[in-house]
Amino acid sequence: MEQVDFLDLIRSKNHEGRSQLQVPSTSHIETTEGTTILALRYKGGVMVAGDRRATMGNVVVYDRADKVLAVDDSSVLALAGSPANAYEIARTLEISFQHHRRSQLHEMSLDGKLRTLSRLLRENIPMALQGIGAVIPIFATFDNQSEASKIYFYDVLGAQFESVDFCTTGSGSPTIRGALYYHNRWGGQPTPEMEEPEAIGLTLRMLETAAEYDTATGGHKPTTDVFPQVLCVTQTGVSTISESELESHYQNHLRQQ
């Protein structure tokens, strides 16, 4: 039997993302996916947010999906891609952090956290290659050594990159990535100089913009009060922006425009 090198397998992928090798077809499987997640640096730390919509093809499956999860006291994982695989990766990551803390009596190092997530994504490669289980997360954490909150994003193969000011991924990300770049360079106050209220307002506007141009991203619904998830990673830990505070931002800054 002819041996196939892994890199050759990757190169054999055509432009539609389907393997040219003879592998079992999974094109008949409809998977739940669709999202926009983003992280940006503000004056107090890092803000991570995501919409709540989950889709299957052109069908909205659920409008209250949790895509931004705290995995320990100082780290947040935002998930884009297949929820089934993403949630399993998040649960495994949280358990790994807990096990290290309990067995070693101290928190896992930043490098250890980054490598653990990379390994979990590499283990998911077979599902990603079949086109039914890709996961592309954003990871935000507070680094005790540098005393700063940091943003990291990953590709499907588990390669990890640090983002300086902002990061966004998911189906609606192309729309708002350019908007965030424009804002930070020419739009007045860059996000790292913003106080928390201003950062929340910008984050909500970005998610609403993504929802306007991407059907897989859910916008705010006044009739049902479904709000995005917004979490902050600061020196004091992970905190969640309450729905009442988000409602106030929508009332004062978004609905009237």
Sign of CA dihedral 240, 197, 188, 251: positive
Q: Which candidate in 31, 35, 191, 203 is catalytic? A: 35
- Closest to 239 (Cα-Cα) out of 105, 149, 168: 149
Chain centroid to CA 198: how far? 21
Chain centroid to CA 194: how far? 21
Residues 13, 16, 22, 23, Cα dihedral to 10°: 100
At 180, give phi and psi (nearest 5°).
-70, -40
Token pair of 54 as six digits: 């989950």
Q: Is 35 a catalytic residue?
A: yes
SS3 per residue for 41-75: EECCEEEEEECCCEEECCEEEECCCCCEEEEECCE
- Closest to 53 (Cα-Cα) out of 78, 39, 35: 35
Cα 161 to Cα 42, 114, 118, 151, distances in angstroms: 19, 10, 11, 9
Catalytic residues: 35
